A and B are shown apart, each in its own frame.
Chain A
Amino acid sequence: MSNSLMNDATTLARRNLEHIRQLPEKLTNVTIQPLMFVLLFAYVFGGAIQVQGGNYNEYLMAGILIQTLAFAMMGPAMSVATDFQEGVIDRFRSLPTRRSAYLLGHYFAEMLGAILTIVILLGTGLIVGWRTHASVLEVTEGMVLLLVFASGVMWMGLWLGVLVRSPDAVMGIGFVIVFPLTFVSNAFVPISSMPAVLQWMAVINPVSVMIAAMRELFGNPVTPVTKHVWPIDHPVAAAWIYSIALVALGWVIAQHRYRARTTD
C-alpha cells in the first residue's frame, strides 16, 4: 500500500471538482465576473480612454487576464481556510498520505479553474475584437507565461488560506492586496496619464510588468512609459523572473506554513 504523492494529490483534487459539481455557483467569480469586466471596460469605459497606436479592446485583454488571475488567489485561500475550519484536515492527516499532497491537490484543482477562466476571457476577447499580432511562438510563450503566473498566484492564495484563522478574513485581506496592485498599473489606462507619484508606483508594480509582457507577446498595443526601471523596459524577461520567483516563493511559504500549522 504505498502511496505516491501524485495519487494523493489527484484524489484530493477530485474532491474539489466534486464540490464545484455540487455548487456550480462557486465558479461565478472565475467565469461570469471576468466576462462582465471585459464587457464593462470594452463598452462602458473604453470609449473614454485613449491608447496611442491601437485599439483599446486589444489593449484591454492583457490587463483583464492578469487582473482576473490575480483575484483568483481568493479561490484556493477560501478552500483551504474552510477545510481548516471544518476539521477535514485532521482527517486527511491521520491517513497515510504525503503531507505536501494536500496543498498540491488544491493547486491542481484551482489550475483547472484558471484554465477555464483564460479560455472564457480570450473567447469573449475575440468577440469584442481582440486579436493577436505576433508569431505563433510568441503567442504560445505568452500562454505558458500566463500559466506560470497563475501557478504563482495560486500558491500565494494557498499560503493565505493556511495563514488566516477563518475563511471570512480571506476576502478582506485578498482585496487589500490585489485591488491596489491591479488598479495602480497599466491594466486599464496608460501609466503616463497618472500623477507622477502613481506613475512610479505603477512602473515598479510587477503587475504592470506582467501585463506589458503579455501585450508584447500577443502583439497588442504597449503604451510608452516616462519613468524607466529595468523590469518595465524589459517586460518579457522580467515577467518570467517574477512568475517563476512567485511559484517558488509561494510553494515554499505555503508548504512551510502548512507544516507549521499542522504541527502541535
Chain B
Amino acid sequence: MTTTGTAARTDAPGTDPPLGITATGLGKQFGDLWALRDLDLAVAPGTVLGLLGHNGAGKTTAIRILTTLSQPSEGAATVAGFDVVREAASVRRHIGVASQQATVDGLMSARLNLVTIGRLYGLSKSVAGTRADELLVQLDLTDFATALVKTYSGGMRRRLDLAASLMGNPDVLFLDEPTTGLDPMSRTHLWDMLTELVRGGTTVILTTQYLEEADRMADDIVVLDHGRSVAHGTPAELKAQIGDDRLDVKVGSADAVQPAATAVAPFADRPPTLDPERHMITVPIKPGVRVVEIVRALDDAGIDAIDVTRREVTLDDVFVTLTGTSRRDDAETDQAEGNR
C-alpha cells in the first residue's frame, strides 16, 4: 500500500518507520474530568490493537484524538507516521473511521453514500464508483445498493458504515465497537474481513466491550478504566494475568458468604470476590478443577449453596482482578463522554 503524503513523516532516523500508531502520554480533559490520561501506544503496522473497556472508560476519546476529531490536552500521537495535531490533514488521507454512531446518510442510497465519500477522499467519479461496487459485494449489500439507507436494518447500517470507512483504502482503520448490533453471522463475517485486511498490511484499532472479540481479533490489548490504561499485553499475557474460568456461588444468607469463601479457597488461584449483599462469591478457579469438587467442599463445610455456576471470564472479572473494584459507579465518566 502506498503511503505518500504532502507532509514529512516524523520518523526517527535509524529505526523502522513507525507507520502504525504511536502515542505518548496522551490525555484529554473535559472540565475537571480527565476522560483519558497517560495513554501510551505502539501499534506495529499490519497488527490489530484492541481497546477494551466499559462505556466511559476513554475508548471513544482515544479514537477521537487519533482520528483528528479531538485535540489532546496533553501528550502526542502519530498515525501512519503523521502527527495527529500538526499533520491532521495528512492523517485523514490515510485513515478510515467507522464510528459508534453509524454515520451514513439515510436519505441517500448505499451506493451514493459510498461514492460521495469516495469523492471526498479525492477519487474520480469512475474510481469511486468501482470501489463502491467492490465494497458492496464484499459486505454483502449488493441487493440493497440502490435502496435508501433509512430503510436499512441496524446491522446493514453498520456494514455500510464499515464499507464507508474502507472507501479510501486506509492504511490505518479505526473501528469503534464495530460488532455492536450485528447478528452472530455478520459478526463472524466481519472478523473474517478484518483478518483479510490485516493480512494486506492494514493497521487496525478496534474498541470493544467484549473480551471474546478482543481475544479473537487483537494482537495486543490495552484495557482502559476511568481513562487510564490498567493492563497491556497480548491476549495470552492478559489471560495469564486474570486467570481461567470463574465460578459463581450463591448461598442462603450474608453470614454464609465468608465461610463459603474459606471452603473454596483451595480451588482458587487468586482470592475470591465477596458480595455479601447478594449472598454471592465469585471464585477464579484453578485450571482443571471440577465443579463437583467445589460442591462437595461446600457441602462438607455445612454450607447450603443455592446455585453454583461455572462460566468464562467476562470484562467485569477483568476489572475486578486488575483494579480490585467492581464497576457500578460509572455515571460520572459516562456523562462526561455523553455530553460532548
Our count of residue pairs bridging A and B at CB distance below 8 angstroms stands at 76
B120 at the interface (CB under 8 A from A): yes
**A11 near B108 (CB under 8 angstroms)?**
no
Please state if B116 and A11 are interface contacts (CB–CB under 8 Å). Answer: yes
**Is B95 at the interface (CB under 8 A from chain A)?**
yes
Q: How far is the CA of A94 from the CA of B70 in the complex (A)?
A: 10
**Is B107 within 8 A of A22, CB to CB?**
yes
Q: How many residues of A contact B (CB 8 A)?
A: 26
Sorted nearest first, the 7 A-B pairs with minimum C-beta distance are A1-B122, A91-B103, A87-B101, A96-B92, A11-B119, A96-B93, A94-B97
* A contacts, CB < 8 Å to B: 1-3, 7-8, 11-12, 14-15, 18-19, 22-23, 86-88, 90-97, 263-264
Give every chain A residue within 8 A of B104 (Cβ-Cβ): 91
A3-B120, A22-B148 known; A15+B95 contact, CB < 8 A: no
Residues of B within 8 A of A (CB): 6, 64, 67-71, 89, 92-93, 95, 97, 99, 101, 103-108, 112, 116-117, 119-123, 148, 164, 168, 340
Given contacts A22-B108, A22-B148, A94-B92, contact A3 B116 (CB under 8 A): no
Known: A19-B107, A87-B103, A88-B103. Contact between A95 and B120, CB under 8 A? yes
Q: Which residues of A contact B119 (CB under 8 A)?
A: 7, 11
A98 to chain B: closest residue by CB: B89
Residues in B with CB closer than 8 Å to A86 are 101, 103, 106
User: How close is B160's CB to chain A, nearest CB, in angstroms?
Assistant: 12
Taking CB atoms, residues of chain B closer than 8 Å to A92 are 120
Q: A2-B6, A95-B92 are in contact. List 14 more A-B contacts (CB 8 A).
A: A15-B108, A15-B116, A18-B107, A18-B112, A22-B148, A86-B103, A90-B101, A91-B97, A92-B120, A95-B120, A95-B121, A96-B92, A96-B121, A96-B122
In the complex, A22 Cα to B340 Cα: how many Å?
A: 31
| Residue of chain A at shortest CB distance from B102 | A87
**Pairs across A and B, CB under 8 Å, 25 listed:** A1-B93, A2-B6, A3-B122, A11-B120, A12-B120, A15-B116, A18-B107, A19-B108, A22-B148, A23-B107, A88-B105, A90-B69, A90-B99, A90-B101, A91-B104, A94-B68, A94-B95, A94-B97, A95-B92, A95-B117, A95-B120, A95-B121, A95-B168, A96-B93, A264-B71
By a CB distance below 8 angstroms, the chain A residues around B108 are 15, 18-19, 22
Q: Once bound together, how far apart are the Cα atoms of A125 and B93, in whole Å?
A: 51
With CB as the reference atom, state the residue of chain B lying closest to A262.
B69
Residues in B whose Cβ lies below 8 Å from that of A7: 119, 122
Q: Are A8 and B103 neighbours in the complex by a CB distance under 8 Å?
A: no
Contact yes or no, A15 B105, CB < 8 A: yes
- A99's closest neighbor in chain B, by CB? B89
Q: In the complex, what residues of A have CB within 8 A of residue B168's CB?
A: 95-96
Q: Is the CB of B122 within 8 A of A94?
A: no
CA–CA, A96 to B117, complex, Å?
10
Contact A97 B68 (CB under 8 A): no
Instruction: Give the residue of A3, A8, A12, A94 whose beta carbon is less than 8 angstroms from that of B69.
Output: A94
Query: Which A residues touch B122, using CB under 8 A?
Result: 1-3, 7, 96
Q: Are B164 and A91 in contact (CB under 8 A)?
A: yes
Chain B residue contacts of A91, Cβ below 8 A: 97, 99, 103-104, 117, 164
Residue on B nearest A94 in the bound complex, by CB: B97
